[in-house]
Structure 1
Amino acid sequence: MSHIKRVHRKKVNRNVGDRPGVFVISADALKPVIHVYSYNEKEVVIDKGHDIKIVLAQLKKCKDHTHWIQIQGLGDANLINDIGEHLNINPLVLEDIVNTHQRPKFDEYDDYVFSVSRQLFISDGGELHNKQFSALVKSNLIISFEETYIKTFDVVKTRLQAGKGVIRAAGPGYLCYALSDVIIDNYFVLLAKIGDDLDDLEDRLYKHADKTIMYDAQQLKRSLIALRRVTWPERDKLNDILRTDNPYVTAEVKMYLRDAYDHCIQVMDMIENYKEISNSVIDLYLSMVSNRMNEIMKVLTIISAIFIPLTFVAGIYGMNFAKVDPVSNKAMPDNMPELYSPHGYYWALAGMSVIALIQVVIFWKKGWFTKL
């Protein structure tokens, strides 16, 4: 996993005042790739395509199966409209699927439920991306919508093909839980990366501190904030699902959802802990910079304190008030008698050195040098 360098900012793809239920396909949206997994306790039938025809053919061929339709890429408005038409999906739901800035939520309708989660991953360039995952769950059908082609759910596909556990028999509600659980587990992976980066920052702080530490710590803090914005509504969404009486969320599924809810709480606790560590790293670096500045100022203060009396002595003898007038050779009262003393220059230097030495001894006894 790459080092986190920045957090990707997503533009809201809608116009102010648009009619509810209207969606606009983003210019950079990927063309959809559709995988259909029809499964029961005996087998898994897999097909792949790019339009609604592959979905309808699979549903017709495997009538006694549960179907998972995985759509990766939302760059086809006709496909979204066809799904809404064939499955009688509310236009507001279709809008939420395409306008991918939704917060995690769980909505119930007459014959289906709608769930939204957020996928976080780090690109090869070190950019933290926040993508939307949406799912529609009906009686024997789940349709998932993803913005990218990343292979987040390969582990679920492996379990589905292996047929171990209850994944083939527990219905589409359980599969929706399994996909959401993978998303939450990836939060742990991301937090493990952030934790390693924080450990590296602390090592750099103690060994060789520089200003890049503060910048990297701030970037990690921004990543944690982005993760916090995801996990808090995800927890609320799971809580809503646990409280619902909808038949698509069975008692067996709720048992597993409680485990996912606990994982979400753990993620939130880790986020808060890491935020405190990142704040501590920044504060400690600023304290070290401040202490270093104080040490420098202390050295300069000691040097200044030593030279102040020397400068005072030199200033007095630089006034040049002669004892004898060099023109009239007349004695001048109350002027400097030392100006014409034999070896006066050397005596002055010796006196100044003694003063400096006395100051150094006093500063040393006070412990100023040992605390630098």
Structure 2
Amino acid sequence: MAIKQSRAATEMVRSRHPRTGTISGRAKTGLAPGTMLFVGERKRERARIDIFDYCSESVREEHDVDVQTCFDFCVDDDSVTWINVNGVHDVALVESLGMHFGLHPMTLEDLVNTSQRPKVEEFPSYLFIAMKMMDFNEISHTVDIENVSLILGRNVVLSFLEDDGDVFDSVRERLRRCKGRVRHMKADYLAFALMDTVVDHYFLAIEQIGDYIEAIDDKILEDPRESDIQEIHYLKRDVLTLRKAAWPCREVISSIEKGDSSVLNPDTRVYWRDLYDHCIQVIDMVETYRDILGGMHDTYLSSLSNRMNEVMKTLTIISSIFIPLTFIAGVYGMNFEYMPELRWRLGYQGALAMMLLIGVSLVIYFRRKRWL
């Protein structure tokens, strides 16, 4: 065991990013299955544990507690305990919780791997659920992604996040104020409420991306610039990130709804079906915006081409007007000795009048042809 830990520490140091402290998946190369090694970016100094313990009559809330306090809570079968861990980089803490709640070594390995694909795994006494939590940053116009792992037991839900920021404040308020069904239902409904909140924020992120796409589309039609292509490229990556997070969720929720795990109650299956429908709507919206972004590149090229055509049209019309005027000026600029017009008293005025007449006639002609 000491050799494995030493090797894991060595690989972790080799694979750590020199500036961000991010540990890549290459650090796990060659390690035995079930070896706990944090993979991802460390986003906080130390881990933090918050607890909600509730039933239909009361709720108890504790913040920034130690591991032993978590063990003291999960003793009453009549109440539901929600243990939220912020900071999965603390491998020792995750391992302590896993040993107490009887989590499989493969589950512990997945808990500290923030690059995990959304999935669900069924074990005799619990369900392991991995999802991606997302938020659209309206300042940088990028999608912020964070891994969320849930452990659903008989009367306990464990949630593991990378950082303090999450989307579960609405669930906390419902627990505090006894709003909705969450205080009257079992732990599986709490897990549903957490997952439903994550999916709802997919809608919010997609709507914000949609507003930004509309703004870029209007900008392209009015004044296309080279920087717009780069913005479209970034938006394509953001939508692709959303797709990678939302698409596997459909399989996750479907597996939960159709599963027969002992920690799932028949009364909550209707809620899982509703969550499945929401996930399908998210996927449809993502695919729609993918198609729109695919067409925006063509729109940019078309707008740029139309703008170039308008410029060339204007220049061509100006050239067409000045060609006959240049011809007249060239003829009378040859200065031959025997040119009778050179001796006319009103020859200069007559040449200007003819040039003006030709120019005005061409402008009127172009307008009637709707070229101007």
Structure 2 length as normaliser, TM-score? 0.79
Alpha-carbon distance between aligned partners in 2 of 1:93 and 1:270, rounded to the nearest angstrom:
32
Paired position in structure 1 for 2:17: none
Matches of 2:126 and 2:21, distance apart in 1:
29
Structure 1 residues 164, 355: closer, same or farther in 2, change over 3 A? closer
Alpha-carbon offset, residue 10 of structure 1:
11
Q: Does 1:104 align with 2:107?
A: no
Is residue 59 of structure 1 aligned with residue 74 of structure 2? yes
Long gaps (5+) in structure 2: 1-19
SS across alignment from 1:246 = coil
Counterpart in 2 of 1:304?
319
SS in 2 for 1:15: helix
C-alpha deviation, 1:132, in angstroms: 0.7
Distance in 2, Cα, partners of 1:156 & 1:48: 16
Q: Counterpart of 2:344 in structure 1: which amino acid?
A: P
Residue deviations 1:62-88 (CA, integer Å, cap 9, x gap): 354332211112231210121232233
Question: Percent identity among equivalent residues?
Answer: 35
Deviations 1:261-315 (A, max 9, x none): 1111122222333444555666545544432332221111011112223333433
For residues 38 and 180 of structure 2, the distance between their equivalents in structure 1, rounded to whole angstroms, comes to: 41
Q: Superposed, which structure 2 residues align to 1:305-344 within 5 Å? A: 305-323=320-338, 337-338=339-340, 340-343=342-345, 344=347
Match of 2:367 among 364, 369, 372: 364
Residue 260 of structure 1 is matched in structure 2 by 275
Aligned to 1:14: 25
Matches of residues 88-103 of structure 1 in structure 2 within 5 Å? Answer: 88-103=102-117
Q: Is the 8 A contact 2:42 2:162 kept in 1?
A: no
Is the alpha carbon distance of 1:12 and 1:291 closer, same or farther for their aligned partners in structure 2, counting shifts above 3 Å? farther
Residues 87-145 of structure 1: CA deviation (Å, up to 9, x unaligned): 33233222221121112111112332210111112458544211011011222222110
How many angstroms does 1:170 deviate by? 3.6
State the one-letter code of the partner of 1:83. Answer: L
CA distance in 2, matches of 1:357, 1:66: 88
Q: C-alpha displacement at 1:231, in angstroms? A: 1.1
**What residue is the counterpart of 2:153 in the other structure?**
138
Equivalent residue in structure 1 for 2:38, among 16, 20, 24: 24
Name the count of aligned residue pairs.
346
Root-mean-square deviation over aligned CA pairs: 3.2
User: Is contact 1:12–1:99 with CA below 8 Å preserved after alignment?
Assistant: no
Give, in whole Å, the separation in 1 of the partners of 2:50 and 2:261. Answer: 27
> Is 1:227 matched with 2:227?
no
Which structure shows the bigger proportion of residues in helix conformation?
2
8 A contact 1:25–1:74 mirrored in 2: no
> Which protein has greater RCO, CA pairs closer than 8 Å, 6+ apart?
1
The code of the aligned residue for 1:153 comes to: F
User: What TM-score, normalized by structure 1, do the two folds share?
Assistant: 0.79
Q: Is 1:295 the equivalent of 2:306?
A: no
Letter in structure 1 aligned against 2:192: Y
Letter in 2 for 1:249: L
Rg comparison, structure with higher value = 1
- Aligned residue for 1:298, secondary structure, equals helix
Is residue 238–residue 261 contact of structure 1 (8 Å, CA) maintained in 2? yes
Gaps of 5+ in 1: 1-8, 324-336
Correspondence for 1:4: none
Query: Deviation of residue 203 (structure 1)?
Result: 6.2
